[in-house]
C-alpha cells in the first residue's frame, strides 16, 4: 500500500489536505495524524471493520481498548450512556487537552473499540490539526498511538513512517508533538475516579478538581484486564533490553556507573539514557542520549520517545536509563520508562 503524505501547518492547516484525509477516514482507511500528545493512528470509530485494521497494522492485541477522539465536547453525549459528575467536572476544566475520560458506552460503539467492555474512553484533543480533521470527517475517530504495538510512541511523522509506511493510507505531518507522552486516562465509572494512565494532565491537576482519586494497581505493575491503552505489562520499548535506575540522584549515579561498568566488563555494547546532570560521568565508550534536566519533567516528557527510538539504529546490547522524580509530569515519564523496561528496575 502506498502511504500518502500531507505536510500541514500545525496552527493553520491546509483545509483541502485535511478534507482529503477526512474522506479517507470515512471510507474506512487508516490515517495517522498529530495531536498535542503523540501521533495517533485514526480510523472511523463507529466502523468495526475499519477499527480492526488498526489492530492489524499495529500488531496490537484485540483486548487492548482504544480511545475515541471527538471534535467538540458535546459529542461525548453521543458516545456515553451516562456522563458522571466527575467526568463533567474534568472535561469542563481540561478539554480540549490531554485528558481521556472512561464512561459507560452507548450500544452503537463497537466492541472492537472497547475491547468488549461496557465502557468507552473518549478524548477531545487540543491540536488544531486533529480537531479539524475529526470535524471534517464527521465521525468519532478511534486512535491509539501510530506505532508498531509495544514500541515507543511516535512524536513525529517520520517516527510513524518508520513503523507503518506501506501499512496505512496516509500520514499528516504537522511537526513534532508538544507534550510527547500520551493523554491522562481516568475511569469515571468507579465510585472514586481511578487513574488508569498518567499523562499531560497530572495527578495534582486531577486532585485539584476532584479532591480524591484512586490509582489503578496496574500502574505499579500488577496484571489486570486493561480498561485503557498502555496498561499492558511491556510497552513503549526500544529494540534493546532496557533497565531502569530508580534512586535519589547521588545513589542513582552510583548504580548507573556500577551497572554500566559490569556490562562493559562482560563485553557488551552499552547505551545510556540520562539527565543532563549525569551526562558527564558516563564513560565515553557508552552510547549516550540525554533527555534533558531531571528538574524539568515537561522537557523530559517531550524528548522521551525520541530518545528511546534513537537507539534503534545503534548496535547496543543493553540500555540503562536514569529515572526522575514523580512529581507533575514525572509520574507519566516514570510510568512509560517502567513499561519500556518491562519492570526491570534497580532501586
Of all residues in the chain, what percent carry a pLDDT higher than 70?
A: 96
106 neighbors 78 (Cβ within 8 angstroms): yes
Q: What is the pLDDT of residue 226?
A: 54
Q: What is the pLDDT of residue 234?
A: 60
Q: What is the pLDDT of residue 63?
A: 84
Mean pLDDT of the region 200-209: 97
- Is residue 231 pLDDT above 70, yes or no? no
- Is residue 249 pLDDT above 90, yes or no? no
Q: How far apart are CA 63 and CA 61, in angstroms?
A: 6
Q: What is the mean pLDDT of the chain?
A: 94
Q: Report DSSP letters for 155-220, one per residue.
A: SSHHHHHHHHTTTSSEEEE--S-SS-SPPEEEE-SSSS-EEEE--SS-HHHHHHHHS--EE-GGGG
Q: What does the pLDDT look like over 268-308, one tens digit per residue? A: 999 999 999 999 999 999 999 999 999 999 999 999 999 99
Among 236, 241, 276, residue whose Cα is nearest residue 259: 241
- Is residue 14 pLDDT above 60, yes or no? yes
- Is residue 227 pLDDT above 80, yes or no? no
Residues near 269 by beta carbon (within 8 Å), at least 6 away in sequence: 287, 315, 316, 317, 318
Instruction: Give the pairing type, strands 31-33 and 67-69.
Output: unpaired
Q: What does the pLDDT look like over 49-72, one tens digit per residue? A: 999 999 999 999 888 899 999 999
* Cα separation of the two ends of the chain: 46
- Name beta bridge partners: 43: 142
Q: What is the pLDDT of residue 94?
A: 98
Q: What is the pLDDT of residue 237?
A: 86
Identify the band that residue 250 occupies on the pLDDT scale cut at 50, 70 and 90. Answer: confident
Q: How far apart are CA 101 and CA 301, in angstroms?
A: 21
Question: Of the given ranges (200-204, 245-249, 316-320), which has the lowest mean pLDDT?
Answer: 245-249
- Is residue 76 pLDDT above 90, yes or no? yes
Identify the band that residue 235 occupies on the pLDDT scale cut at 50, 70 and 90. Answer: confident
Q: What is the pLDDT of residue 224?
A: 54
- Is residue 228 pLDDT above 60, yes or no? no
- Is residue 121 pLDDT above 70, yes or no? yes
Burial class (CB in 10 A: 0-12, 13-18, 19+), 16: exposed
- Is residue 240 pLDDT above 80, yes or no? yes
Amino acid at each position: 500500500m502506498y502511504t500518502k503524505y500531507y505536510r500541514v501547518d500545525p496552527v493553520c492547516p491546509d483545509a483541502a489536505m485535511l478534507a482529503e484525509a477526512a474522506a479517507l477516514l470515512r471510507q474506512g482507511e487508516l490515517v495517522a495524524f498529530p495531536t498535542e500528545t503523540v501521533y495517533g493512528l485514526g480510523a472511523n470509530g463507529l466502523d468495526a471493520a475499519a477499527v480492526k485494521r488498526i489492530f492489524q497494522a499495529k500488531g496490537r492485541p484485540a483486548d487492548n481498548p482504544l480511545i475515541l477522539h471527538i471534535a467538540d465536547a458535546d459529542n461525548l453525549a453521543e458516545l456515553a450512556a451516562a456522563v458522571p459528575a466527575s467526568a463533567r467536572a474534568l472535561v469542563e476544566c481540561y478539554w480540549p487537552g490531554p485528558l481521556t475520560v472512561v464512561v459507560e458506552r452507548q450500544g452503537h460503539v463497537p466492541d472492537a473499540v472497547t475491547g468488549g467492555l461496557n465502557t468507552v474512553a473518549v478524548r477531545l484533543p487540543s491540536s488544531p490539526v486533529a480537531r479539524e480533521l475529526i470535524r471534517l470527517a464527521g465521525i468519532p475517530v478511534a486512535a491509539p498511538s501510530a506505532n508498531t504495538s509495544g514500541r515507543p510512541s511516535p512524536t513525529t511523522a517520520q517516527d510513524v513512517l518508520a513503523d507503518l509506511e506501506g501499512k496505512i493510507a496516509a500520514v499528516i505531518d504537522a511537526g513534532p508533538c508538544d507534550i510527547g507522552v500520551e493523554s491522562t486516562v481516568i475511569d469515571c465509572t468507579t465510585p472514586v475516579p481511578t487513574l488508569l494512565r498518567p499523562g499531560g494532565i497530572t495527578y495534582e491537576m486531577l486532585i485539584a478538581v476532584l479532591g480524591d482519586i484512586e490509582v489503578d494497581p496496574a500502574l505499579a505493575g500488577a496484571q489486570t484486564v486493561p480498561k485503557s491503552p498502555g496498561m499492558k505489562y511491556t510497552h513503549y520499548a526500544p529494540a534493546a533490553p532496557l533497565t531502569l535506575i530508580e534512586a535519589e540522584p547521588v545513589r542513582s549515579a552510583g548504580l548507573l556507573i556500577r551497572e554500566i561498568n559490569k556490562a562493559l566488563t562482560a563485553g557488551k555494547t552499552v547505551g545510556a539514557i540520562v539527565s543532563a546532570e549525569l551526562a558527564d560521568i558516563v564513560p565515553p565508550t557508552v552510547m549516550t542520549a540525554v533527555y534533558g534536566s531531571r528538574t524539568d519533567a515537561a522537557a523530559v516528557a517531550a524528548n522521551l520517545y525520541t530518545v528511546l527510538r534513537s537507539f534503534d539504529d545503534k548496535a547496543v546490547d543493553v540500555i540503562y536509563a536514569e529515572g526522575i522524580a514523580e512529581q507533575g509530569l514525572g509520574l507519566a515519564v516514570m510510568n512509560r520508562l517502567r513499561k519500556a523496561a518491562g519492570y526491570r528496575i534497580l532501586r
